[in-house]
Structure 1
């Protein structure tokens, strides 16, 4: 099959960078909201911060899988399947292994201290760090084999393996119609409401697979953007109203799984998430189809930032959790200090050392700032 050159979609790079920043803020909010997490503030919030977590959490990981599906489509227009899979395994697998072996143990250690499951120093914990599988917060196993927040990388590797033959033999949808969007809603609602495998980041793993496939087959089509030009106000209104309704319902009374209320509740979450993604996808294409120095820098930094952000937040949170500061001031402190630590490590350490660039999913050689970006290439993961 002939491989074509593909003009880079800068709008997707902007979406990736923005989504990475929002994931960072979401995990900062996890330190303060009432959900189970590795470390919690000495005071939690069940109002404003919880609402923020719900409004962002419903669609933030789904948009990553949509972007990854689009990325796979563009990558396969230029690469053979073997090259595509090798790059996926290396650029995702190496950071995942590093996360499992190096970045996860400090977080699990802090969680064990937080839950009174261990007393002692980190050095005393290390002999136990890889004993038993870590399956849930508060469990007994310590080996976080999915890398905690890096489950996203493992899911992408699995999805790429599962879909490689399908993608090699099929093509994306050329003419997207409203019927395709309706069917996409139905498929996601069905899987979210009735399928239960592994729950990660607020959704079942198979929901992410459907979103990955939607990114490849539907979002990659130029015809979708033509359709959204006419319908984007509908997606904005539908996305906001259903997401807000879902968040309010969640805060008042979480329905029992399997009930009719749960199906409606899940439908609100799916409709809200998907329509917010559709709206942002169109707006990014309309207003963010350009590149500059900021995008070139942050687009490359996005994956290392994602890999580092949760360990830094957990460690910083553990340091400040018992401070008597107001929660709002703590939130600002946690956000600013964690961001600066991650930015410093990336700028002065990771991006300058070839071995660390590879470990964090980048190409080994640092990109020369003086050179213009390639005019034609596929969107990155």
Structure 2
């Protein structure tokens, strides 16, 4: 058996990004309850002001940064792991919670959506046999079987990406030199992906996420590339701020017609906005968050179970309060802290205490660390 030393440097900035991005997803899905976009369960009153602005800003970078961080993590994992060990870890850590989510956490969410949209009457036990009637394709549709686990589509897509990119990652070596030209050219490749339509999820196409994942592996994980986007931070920050304003105002005031030239320009602005925001986030994390503490140790382990649990909890509470005559602000003041508290109580006192639940939620068995820290490649 090949002997591999896996005691390599831990990149704490990536852990911080993952934890903070998970919190961002949580807040984003709380906003989905009251913003104008379609969702599983909507409030009886919607907000097209500040909450919509928040949703648009966070949605621009939220899921892309997960795939970028995942690409970086794969880079570190394949440096010290065999391909077979890497793929086995992916299957267990992503596949198990995905299957658990599809058959345990997803049916209640579909049930609440059907009740909220007057598409079903009856108890959950009456509904469950109908969970397998047709494939769930979009909000308010007729199919019920969400094989991708609704918000857990990220785990499914990441699992597929992990397998299909192995030949590329193993046989195409990384570069050691990068320049400003790479900072400029990479978003053009992302823009080109917009002309190839596969499946849109979380605001972007699957091919867009695949390219971001590959960029994470080859570029963002590289110390040489890191020096390049450090030197261009001021430019990226100005670009991120300007394109954020243009994108959000344009979206709210006059969203372009599909197929028009304005839509192409709009997508270019949005792509540049996403890329420049990612570079700014990675720069700031590297500069200010390259450390660990007790909170990071706890939150990093909790991030995947938190992600898996957050939408079912938000949806359940939203379903309960959707028709109450409360103002939107009061509903959010209830929804956000109560959802967060329930998720953390479930994690802290239940999930992390039992081996079978740790396994189902994609957590690793605790290991004793002696002199060297063992790197567990994260999502």
Q: Same fold (TM over 0.5)?
A: yes
Counterpart position of 2:273: 272
Given the superposition, is the C-alpha separation of residues 47 and 374 from structure 1 closer, same or farther in structure 2, using an over 3 Å criterion?
A: farther
Counterpart position of 2:15: 13
Counterpart position of 1:290: 291
Q: Report the CA distance between 1:70 and its aligned residue.
A: 0.3
Counterpart position of 1:375: 373
Given that 1:354 and 1:366 are in contact with CA atoms closer than 8 Å, whether structure 2 keeps it comes out as no
**Counterpart-to-counterpart distance in 2, 1:322 and 1:133:** 28
Q: Report the CA distance between 1:172 and its aligned residue.
A: 2.1
CA shift digits 1:201-255 (9 cap, x unpaired): 0000110000000000111110122112221111111111102211111111221
**Counterpart-to-counterpart distance in 2, 1:243 and 1:155:** 27
- The aligned runs of 1:110-189 (5 Å cut-off) are 110-189=112-191
Q: Report the CA distance between 1:377 and its aligned residue.
A: 2.3
Given the superposition, is the C-alpha separation of residues 260 and 373 from structure 1 closer, same or farther in structure 2, using an over 3 Å criterion?
A: farther
**Counterpart-to-counterpart distance in 1, 2:222 and 2:366:** 32
Given the superposition, is the C-alpha separation of residues 183 and 344 from structure 1 closer, same or farther in structure 2, using an over 3 Å criterion?
A: same
Q: Report the CA distance between 1:379 and its aligned residue.
A: 4.5
- The aligned runs of 1:202-351 (5 Å cut-off) are 202-351=203-352
Given the superposition, is the C-alpha separation of residues 2 and 253 from structure 1 closer, same or farther in structure 2, using an over 3 Å criterion?
A: farther
Given that 2:183 and 2:229 are in contact with CA atoms closer than 8 Å, whether structure 1 keeps it comes out as no
**Counterpart-to-counterpart distance in 2, 1:349 and 1:91:** 19
Q: Report the CA distance between 1:373 and its aligned residue.
A: 9.0
**Counterpart-to-counterpart distance in 2, 1:218 and 1:74:** 12
Given that 1:8 and 1:379 are in contact with CA atoms closer than 8 Å, whether structure 2 keeps it comes out as no
Given that 1:197 and 1:204 are in contact with CA atoms closer than 8 Å, whether structure 2 keeps it comes out as yes
C-alpha RMSD of the superposition: 1.6
Given the superposition, is the C-alpha separation of residues 191 and 77 from structure 1 closer, same or farther in structure 2, using an over 3 Å criterion?
A: same
Given the superposition, is the C-alpha separation of residues 253 and 3 from structure 1 closer, same or farther in structure 2, using an over 3 Å criterion?
A: farther
Q: Report the CA distance between 1:374 and its aligned residue.
A: 4.7
Equivalent of residue 29 in structure 1, options 31, 36, 43 = 31
Q: Report the CA distance between 1:376 and its aligned residue.
A: 5.2
Counterpart position of 1:355: 356
Residues 324-333 or 23-32, more deviating: 324-333
Given that 1:352 and 1:366 are in contact with CA atoms closer than 8 Å, whether structure 2 keeps it comes out as no
**Counterpart-to-counterpart distance in 2, 1:380 and 1:318:** 33
CA shift digits 1:27-73 (9 cap, x unpaired): 00000001110000110001111111001101010000000000000
Equivalent residue of 1:106, what SS? helix
Equivalent residue of 1:291, what SS? coil
Q: Report the CA distance between 1:143 and its aligned residue.
A: 0.6
Given the superposition, is the C-alpha separation of residues 33 and 220 from structure 1 closer, same or farther in structure 2, using an over 3 Å criterion?
A: same
Given that 2:198 and 2:206 are in contact with CA atoms closer than 8 Å, whether structure 1 keeps it comes out as yes
TM-score (normalised: structure 1): 0.96
Unaligned runs of 5+ in 2: none
Equivalent of residue 85 in structure 1, options 84, 87, 109 = 87
CA shift digits 1:112-148 (9 cap, x unpaired): 1111110111111011112211111111111110100
Given the superposition, is the C-alpha separation of residues 300 and 367 from structure 1 closer, same or farther in structure 2, using an over 3 Å criterion?
A: farther
**Counterpart-to-counterpart distance in 2, 1:366 and 1:102:** 25
Unaligned runs of 5+ in 1: none
Counterpart position of 2:104: 102
**Counterpart-to-counterpart distance in 1, 2:314 and 2:42:** 11
Q: Report the CA distance between 1:150 and its aligned residue.
A: 0.4
Equivalent residue of 1:58, what SS? helix
**Counterpart-to-counterpart distance in 2, 1:348 and 1:257:** 49
